[in-house]
Amino acid sequence: MFWAKDVFAFFVGIALGAQFDIGLRGDSQKKFSGIDKFSPKKRELFIRLFYNVMGHIAKADGRVSSEEIEIAEALMNELKLTASEKKLAQRSFTRGKNPEFPLASSLQIFYKSFRFNVSLREWFVRLQIQVALAGDGLSGIVTNLIMATAGQLDIPSSRVSDLIREARIHNSFTVYGKRKKAGNYYQRQKQRNYSRYENAHDEKFSSRSKQQRTRSAPPARNELLQAYVVLGVSSADTPKDITRAYRRLLSQNHPDKVIGQGGSSAARERANKKTIEIRKAYELIKERRKF
């Protein structure tokens, strides 16, 4: 009797999982079809910024995993990119990996171009989360960067939590989530394919990355880098871009806004801590950059 119940539960689980995956694929296809309707100029802008940000987040923890490369390639096929568009995506991904990539100004361009399309902006963030989860996971620095990215795209932190949950569920029903559980042997095998992407790196940035892996940066430098991550900006961003990013994040995470949305006391406390973190990061950058 118990065996029969277990079998029944097993098949129900499979059915529900399949339905959930179909639903998410359907949601993605709607976004893909929307991209197909973009003008050539706007489509090129979307692809460039999409892969710029993806490369930047993937590299944030110090390395780009083979799984992140694989899902980035899979998305090229899902988006039905042409051969020239795939080359654009690869170049954009590589440029985004540069630690001096102007993240804030790029996100501002994306927001300005798609500010009336909330679902597209949320989908943009969710895919960035899926790529990160398929790679080395949501480390502290990656999570902070994703939260900052979402904030600059005017997506509330409470919604980001939902997107992370959706991405985790989606990945668990895809090949990326299953391969992640396959263990170190699979990762070692896939790492061989990763080398060709590292070789495609600009030589200057590759040597810089190798130096960063062999020696630790001074504490003051690490502190500044962390401040950039909190705001979702980089050393290449102008003071104006950094200030704009700061104000948008502050507005998104302000405790009064949480209260207005009916948030709990715990949510208000989290917002208060995040607001303090954002202000400290901004003040540190202002002090070091002297603006």
Q: Kindly report the CATH number assigned to the domain that includes residue 276.
A: 1.10.287
User: Quick one: pLDDT band at residue 285, thresholds 50, 70, 90?
Assistant: very high
Q: What is the mean pLDDT of the segment spanning 125-139?
A: 88
Does residue 143 lie in a domain region?
yes
Closest Cα partner for 125 from 98, 100, 152, 104? 152
Residues 145 and 204 in one domain: yes
The answer on 101 and 79 residing in a single domain is yes
Give domain status of residue 2, yes or no: no
| 1 is a domain residue | no
Q: What is the pTM of this model?
A: 0.69
| pLDDT of 139 | 82
* Range in 41-55, 116-130, 221-235 the model is least confident about: 221-235
- The answer to whether residues 130 and 243 belong to one domain is no
Query: Does one domain contain both 245 and 196?
Result: no
**13 and 124, same structural domain?**
yes
Residues 172 and 29 in one domain: yes
Number of domains in the chain: 2
Provide the percentage of residues in the chain whose pLDDT is more than 90.
41
Within-domain flag for 176: yes
**Which residue do the tokens 């400290």 mark?**
280
Q: Which of these three, 215, 234, 257, is where a domain ends?
A: 215
Q: Are residues 283 and 164 in the same domain?
A: no
Tell me which residue range forms the domain holding 278. 217-291
Please give the pLDDT value at position 62. 85
Q: Indicate whether 52 and 106 sit together in one domain.
A: yes
Same domain, 47 and 154: yes
Residue 125 lies in a domain: yes
Question: Which of 196, 215, 234 finishes a domain?
Answer: 215
Is the pLDDT confidence value at 103 over 60? yes
Do residues 184 and 241 both lie within one domain? no
- Shared domain check, 74 and 60: yes
Same domain, residue pair 35 and 86? yes
Asked if residue 72 lies in contact with residue 131, where contact means CB atoms within 8 angstroms, the answer is yes
**Which of 194, 215, 236 is where one domain is finished?**
215
